[in-house]
Structure 1
Amino acid sequence: MPDRTDNALTFGQRVRRARERAGLTRPVVAGLVGRSSDWVKGIENGTIGMPRLPMLLHLAQVLGVDDVADLTGEERIASSTYAKTAHADLPMIKRALSTYRLTRRDEEPEPVAVLAGRVRAAWRLWHGPEQERTAGHRSRIAQLLPDLLADTQHAVRALDSAERRQALALQAQVYHLAQLYLSFQPAPDLVVLTGDRAMSAAQDADSPQAIAAAAWYMNHVYRDAGEAADARVELAEEAASLLRAEDPEHIARRGLLMLAVALSYAKIGREGQAWRYWDKADADARRLGDDYAHEWLIFGRGIVDAYALTMHNDLGHPGKALEVAAALDVGAVPSATRRSYHLIEAARAHGMRDEGVAAVHLLRKAHEESPETIQYNLHTRAALPGLVKAGPPMVREDARRLAVEIGVPV
């Protein structure tokens, strides 16, 4: 039976009690869950909040806790809070990805230039200002994806030589868009599928640029699936080795891959390696200039700085994360979805320091930037119920209203 003898204990105190009962040191627990000793220490002393459900279950298993409620105590976890809530158009995207057209269409495919223009327009829709739309970025992109998938597939089958390779590179981008749509959705198999199809298309295109972009998105797949960091690093470095140093398109992609490695190392607490690779991404951003931002990968000065915030959070250093946030010009990131994400990360840092007023304020700003980004963000969905129930009294109602707006049960 779960131990309910002391409901006054915090989550961190319960973790420490379970660890000590199991006779495990912090370094041992850290190694078993793939995190740093500082991360375990942060969990136990409360500077790092309750992790997401997959890590929470992994932690319970490592500590020999049969009932996760022994760790959470009165901090009840509603599955609907942690769940990746399904977007209304998810069934349509599933059908588009699982439809196999075995016979060729009679009509000629669109010229590659026309197809490329449609793909560029879709990227602008994904990244553009949310307030200018009648629907959110996921809702709007979902209406385009089925036709883009079908038309790029048709072009790849009908065209030859250089035009076919160009169509394959565009097809890889469409799969990237599909993967982004599927992120934070209850369809992990489709996320892996789109990542794999994008990489296959990029390789068939024999395009170092397309392969590099596919490796960046596959790194997200691997991190979410908990794959070993070494595999993620190897993929990123191999893709980066294909790129030419003098070409701005190649520089941007190489910088993005260095960020992928940095984020992977930060996730597992290897701080020195994480910042070594961040420095490489920073050097590529400086080579491109402060005003540079890639059209659809968005690599540039803005996201290199912004991802430093995420890395400090993952390494368990919210104070350092907030130092980055204080100097960060979010407006320099030319993507509403990315701006919203980085604001959420700043809110996460404040939450780790139990600074609820600032956290709620930043979550509201993130909502203003991109409602559908915050709606499906797992940190937001996990944090809001706690802010409603135990946050500073002056912002509890604000947190409740935001939770209601994005469909988080409180």
Structure 2
Amino acid sequence: MVAPDLPIGDRVRHYRKGRQQDVVAGLVGITPDYLSQIERGLKMPSLHILYAIARELGVPIAALLSDQTTSTPAPPPTAEAGVVRALMGYGPALSTPAVGPRELRERIEAAWRSWQQSPTRFTDVAKVLPGLIAEVEHSVRAHRSGTDVQQRRQVLRAAADLYFLLRSYLRRTGRLDLSLMAADRAVRAAEDADDPLRVAAAQWNLGHVLLATDEHDGAEHVAMHGIAALHAEVPDDAERAAMTGALHLVSTVAASRRRDWDTARDRIRKKAAPAAAVTGEGNFLWTVFGPTNVELHRVTVEMEAGNISEALYLADRVDTSAVQSIEREFTFALEVARCYDLRREDPATLLHLLQLETLAPEDLARTPMARGLVLGLVRRARAMHARQAEGLAHRLGLL
């Protein structure tokens, strides 16, 4: 059984199952070099050749045809059905007693800690999110017409924080449509709570969804609007600096994705770095903003700009022990692996991928870039590294 998005070349290699490449090529009537190029994705065989390969390997031709044509396979959406159902439903009846804001806050913070710190974070939060969604939605409805304004605001703040978590979970599980919906609900909850800092955090979350959908201009607009509102409504303190800096990093990524490297570097140097100097390492409203995160963005910009040597030089100077999010640490290490991959340094690429498997195995299995790097090693690496990469591909469900 192979993943439905596995490319043709990887399917041929998989079904060859250790048989000598030159032997199979000879029986098919093609050169070993041509078969090697097919397996590495450099050549697309004709239907006649593909039929001959399938017949020699003892599989139907359909087994060699990928369901998708993308060269970097993407996993299918993996959001748990229970989370999706809870997000689309309404939970308990209105007559059911609502959970108080303090208990909601404690449960949401516990879920956030699991999401940011657990190697099995997808499994862990999927167990608690359906119940949390139902309780929060019910509590918001129950307090909508209440007379206790402060309690209502606390419930709405808790709701915003839960939607922040849902935005991240749904984006990382491939449900960008629902991630956008969660981000929108977060904005509404923060606005109803009349909490300018949470409104800014909601815009930061919305900006990340827009970046994920390649709406770079929209992400930048949201970030700049959030920064302007913060400066107009919130006193100059460390919390404002943290949210301002986090929003500047969203605008930095937007500029980098537009290939405007100078603007991206300028925003880090003149905006994000000074804000991080004020805040120090922190995790205000789950943004993980601080000096280390700023340095990680420097690496990202140089990698995306194609300055691989500079990106690796900067990466060597980063100590990720201060990062309070496995997701951010995972993304950084994956970008380093990508840098080594671009330089065709297969041992270093494989080493980082194996370290990522230890750090966050569920993230590795769900990330298209990681899947592409693993399959690239399977295709081209020398025998020992190719075998290790193939073992990793099996564990990720790619083969």
Normalising by structure 2, report the TM-score. Answer: 0.77
Whole-angstrom distance in 2 between the partners of 1:392 and 1:297: 41
Corresponding residue of 2:296 = 306
5+ residue gaps, structure 1, are 1-68, 131-135
Corresponding residue of 1:122 = 111
Find the residue that maps to 2:284 and give its secondary structure: coil
What is the CA RMSD across the aligned residues, in angstroms? 2.3
Whole-angstrom distance in 2 between the partners of 1:334 and 1:171: 22
Whether 1:346 and 2:336 are equivalent positions in the alignment is yes
Deviations 1:310-335 (A, max 9, x none): 22222222222111111111222122
Distance 1:324 1:105, change over 3 A: farther
Whether 1:225 and 2:223 are equivalent positions in the alignment is no
Corresponding residue of 1:284 = 275
Deviations 1:258-280 (A, max 9, x none): 00000110011101211122121
Whether 1:74 and 2:64 are equivalent positions in the alignment is no
Q: Select which of 128, 140, 150 maps to 2:124.
A: 140
Corresponding residue of 2:151 = 163
1:249 Cα offset (Å) = 2.0
5+ residue gaps, structure 2, are 1-37, 46-65
Q: Greater CA deviation, 295-304 or 113-122? A: 295-304
1:348 Cα offset (Å) = 0.9
Find the residue that maps to 2:236 and give its secondary structure: coil
1:381 Cα offset (Å) = 1.0
Find the residue that maps to 2:344 and give its secondary structure: coil
Identity %: 29
Q: Residue 293 of structure 1 contacts residue 301 of structure 1 at CA under 8 Å; is this kept in 2?
A: no
Q: Greater Rg, structure 1 or structure 2?
A: 2
Q: Select which of 364, 373, 388 maps to 1:383.
A: 373
Report the residue type matching 2:43 in the other structure.
E
Deviations 1:70-107 (A, max 9, x none): xx7438977396223343x6211111111135951331
- Which stretches of structure 1, 4 residues or longer, exceed 6 Å deviation after superposition? 75-78
Find the residue that maps to 2:229 and give its secondary structure: coil
1:397 Cα offset (Å) = 1.8
Q: Select which of 208, 226, 236 maps to 1:239.
A: 226
Distance 1:408 1:257, change over 3 A: same
Normalising by structure 1, report the TM-score. Answer: 0.75
Find the residue that maps to 1:183 and give its secondary structure: helix
Whole-angstrom distance in 2 between the partners of 1:325 and 1:267: 20
Corresponding residue of 1:252 = 242
Report the residue type matching 1:143 in the other structure.
K
Corresponding residue of 1:181 = 169
Report the residue type matching 1:74 in the other structure.
K
Report the residue type matching 2:348 in the other structure.
A
Corresponding residue of 1:28 = none
Whole-angstrom distance in 2 between the partners of 1:162 and 1:276: 41
Q: Residue 302 of structure 2 contacts residue 311 of structure 2 at CA under 8 Å; is this kept in 1?
A: yes
1:143 Cα offset (Å) = 0.9
Whether 1:151 and 2:141 are equivalent positions in the alignment is no
Corresponding residue of 2:26 = none
Report the residue type matching 1:158 in the other structure.
A
